[in-house]
Amino acid sequence: MEELIARVTTRTGLDAATAQTAIGHILAFLQKEGPATEVSQLLSALPGSEAAIADTNAGEAGGGGLMGMLGGMMGGGVMALGQKLMAAGVPMGQMQPLGQELFAYGREKAGEDVMGPIVGSVPGLNQFV
Protein backbone atom coordinates (compact mmCIF):
# COMPACT_ATOMS: atom_id res chain seq x y z
CA MET A 1 0.00 0.00 0.00
CA GLU A 2 2.93 2.35 0.66
CA GLU A 3 3.98 2.21 -3.00
CA LEU A 4 0.47 3.09 -4.15
CA ILE A 5 0.21 5.94 -1.63
CA ALA A 6 3.58 7.30 -2.80
CA ARG A 7 2.48 7.19 -6.43
CA VAL A 8 -0.81 8.93 -5.64
CA THR A 9 0.90 11.67 -3.61
CA THR A 10 3.43 12.26 -6.40
CA ARG A 11 0.72 12.43 -9.06
CA THR A 12 -1.84 14.50 -7.15
CA GLY A 13 0.09 16.53 -4.59
CA LEU A 14 -2.10 15.14 -1.80
CA ASP A 15 -0.46 14.39 1.54
CA ALA A 16 -0.01 10.70 2.43
CA ALA A 17 -2.82 10.59 5.00
CA THR A 18 -5.34 12.12 2.58
CA ALA A 19 -4.17 9.80 -0.20
CA GLN A 20 -4.58 6.75 2.05
CA THR A 21 -8.07 7.83 3.10
CA ALA A 22 -9.05 8.49 -0.52
CA ILE A 23 -7.74 5.10 -1.63
CA GLY A 24 -9.72 3.48 1.17
CA HIS A 25 -12.89 5.27 0.02
CA ILE A 26 -12.39 4.17 -3.59
CA LEU A 27 -11.65 0.55 -2.67
CA ALA A 28 -14.66 0.45 -0.31
CA PHE A 29 -16.79 1.86 -3.12
CA LEU A 30 -15.52 -0.79 -5.55
CA GLN A 31 -16.16 -3.49 -2.95
CA LYS A 32 -19.77 -2.32 -2.65
CA GLU A 33 -20.53 -1.47 -6.28
CA GLY A 34 -18.20 -3.61 -8.40
CA PRO A 35 -18.30 -7.25 -9.50
CA ALA A 36 -17.48 -9.36 -6.42
CA THR A 37 -15.06 -11.79 -8.07
CA GLU A 38 -12.90 -9.18 -9.78
CA VAL A 39 -12.92 -6.80 -6.80
CA SER A 40 -11.85 -9.67 -4.55
CA GLN A 41 -8.99 -10.43 -6.97
CA LEU A 42 -7.97 -6.77 -6.99
CA LEU A 43 -7.96 -6.54 -3.20
CA SER A 44 -5.89 -9.72 -2.99
CA ALA A 45 -3.34 -8.18 -5.37
CA LEU A 46 -3.05 -5.01 -3.27
CA PRO A 47 -1.55 -5.80 0.16
CA GLY A 48 -3.01 -3.51 2.78
CA SER A 49 -6.20 -2.81 0.84
CA GLU A 50 -8.47 -4.58 3.34
CA ALA A 51 -6.96 -2.51 6.18
CA ALA A 52 -7.47 0.70 4.18
CA ILE A 53 -11.13 -0.23 3.66
CA ALA A 54 -11.56 -1.11 7.34
CA ASP A 55 -10.02 2.22 8.39
CA THR A 56 -12.32 4.10 6.02
CA ASN A 57 -15.40 2.22 7.20
CA ALA A 58 -14.45 2.81 10.84
CA GLY A 59 -14.17 6.54 10.15
CA GLU A 60 -17.69 6.57 8.71
CA ALA A 61 -19.32 4.64 11.54
CA GLY A 62 -20.31 7.85 13.32
CA GLY A 63 -23.25 8.56 11.04
CA GLY A 64 -21.83 10.56 8.16
CA GLY A 65 -23.08 14.04 9.06
CA LEU A 66 -23.83 16.48 6.25
CA MET A 67 -21.70 14.68 3.64
CA GLY A 68 -23.38 11.37 4.43
CA MET A 69 -26.75 13.06 4.07
CA LEU A 70 -25.73 14.59 0.73
CA GLY A 71 -24.47 11.24 -0.54
CA GLY A 72 -27.74 9.63 0.48
CA MET A 73 -29.75 12.31 -1.31
CA MET A 74 -27.72 11.73 -4.46
CA GLY A 75 -28.57 8.05 -4.34
CA GLY A 76 -25.02 6.77 -3.99
CA GLY A 77 -22.84 5.74 -6.89
CA VAL A 78 -19.93 7.72 -8.25
CA MET A 79 -21.47 11.03 -7.14
CA ALA A 80 -21.57 9.88 -3.52
CA LEU A 81 -17.96 8.69 -3.85
CA GLY A 82 -17.01 12.16 -5.12
CA GLN A 83 -18.65 13.73 -2.07
CA LYS A 84 -16.72 11.39 0.24
CA LEU A 85 -13.46 12.23 -1.51
CA MET A 86 -14.11 15.97 -1.25
CA ALA A 87 -14.95 15.57 2.45
CA ALA A 88 -11.65 13.72 2.88
CA GLY A 89 -9.77 16.68 1.40
CA VAL A 90 -9.42 15.67 -2.26
CA PRO A 91 -10.04 18.67 -4.54
CA MET A 92 -12.31 18.07 -7.52
CA GLY A 93 -9.40 18.58 -9.93
CA GLN A 94 -7.39 15.78 -8.29
CA MET A 95 -10.09 13.09 -8.42
CA GLN A 96 -9.36 12.02 -11.97
CA PRO A 97 -5.56 11.82 -11.50
CA LEU A 98 -6.19 9.91 -8.25
CA GLY A 99 -8.45 7.42 -10.02
CA GLN A 100 -6.09 7.09 -12.97
CA GLU A 101 -3.14 6.31 -10.73
CA LEU A 102 -5.09 3.83 -8.59
CA PHE A 103 -6.42 1.99 -11.64
CA ALA A 104 -3.03 1.99 -13.39
CA TYR A 105 -1.55 0.44 -10.25
CA GLY A 106 -4.40 -2.07 -10.15
CA ARG A 107 -3.73 -3.03 -13.76
CA GLU A 108 -0.04 -3.55 -12.95
CA LYS A 109 -0.77 -5.73 -9.93
CA ALA A 110 -4.00 -7.55 -10.87
CA GLY A 111 -4.11 -7.28 -14.68
CA GLU A 112 -6.50 -5.87 -17.23
CA ASP A 113 -8.70 -8.98 -17.04
CA VAL A 114 -9.54 -7.92 -13.46
CA MET A 115 -9.68 -4.15 -13.91
CA GLY A 116 -11.62 -4.09 -17.19
CA PRO A 117 -14.76 -5.73 -15.77
CA ILE A 118 -14.63 -3.48 -12.68
CA VAL A 119 -14.52 -0.29 -14.77
CA GLY A 120 -17.11 -1.62 -17.19
CA SER A 121 -19.62 -2.62 -14.52
CA VAL A 122 -19.81 0.58 -12.45
CA PRO A 123 -21.79 3.36 -14.16
CA GLY A 124 -19.83 6.61 -14.43
CA LEU A 125 -16.55 5.15 -13.18
CA ASN A 126 -14.84 5.30 -16.58
CA GLN A 127 -14.71 9.12 -16.41
CA PHE A 128 -12.31 8.89 -13.47
CA VAL A 129 -9.96 6.22 -14.82
pLDDT one-digit tens code per residue, 15-71? 999 999 999 999 999 999 999 999 999 999 999 999 999 998 887 654 444 444 444
The two counts, helices (H) then strands (E), for the chain are 8, 0
21 part of a folded domain:
yes
- Write out the residue range of the structural domain in which residue 59 sits: 2-123
**So what's the pLDDT on residue 124?**
86
Residue 76 CB partners (closer than 8 Å, separation 6+): 33
pLDDT higher than 50, residue 5: yes
Closest CA relative to residue 102, chosen from 32, 5, 2, 16: 5
Q: What Cα–Cα distance (Å) separates residue 80 from each residue in 13, 59, 114?
A: 23, 16, 24
41 part of a folded domain:
yes
pLDDT, tens digit, 9 for 90 and up, residues 55-88: 988 876 544 444 444 444 445 788 899 999 999 9
**So what's the pLDDT on residue 45?**
97
57 part of a folded domain:
yes
128 part of a folded domain:
no
104 part of a folded domain:
yes
**So what's the pLDDT on residue 74?**
45
129 part of a folded domain:
no
Give the count of domains, the chain: 1
89 part of a folded domain:
yes
**So what's the pLDDT on residue 69?**
45
Average of per-residue pLDDT across 98-122: 96
Instruction: Specify the higher pLDDT residue, 109 or 128.
Output: 109
**Single pTM value for the model:** 0.88
82 part of a folded domain:
yes
pLDDT higher than 90, residue 127: no
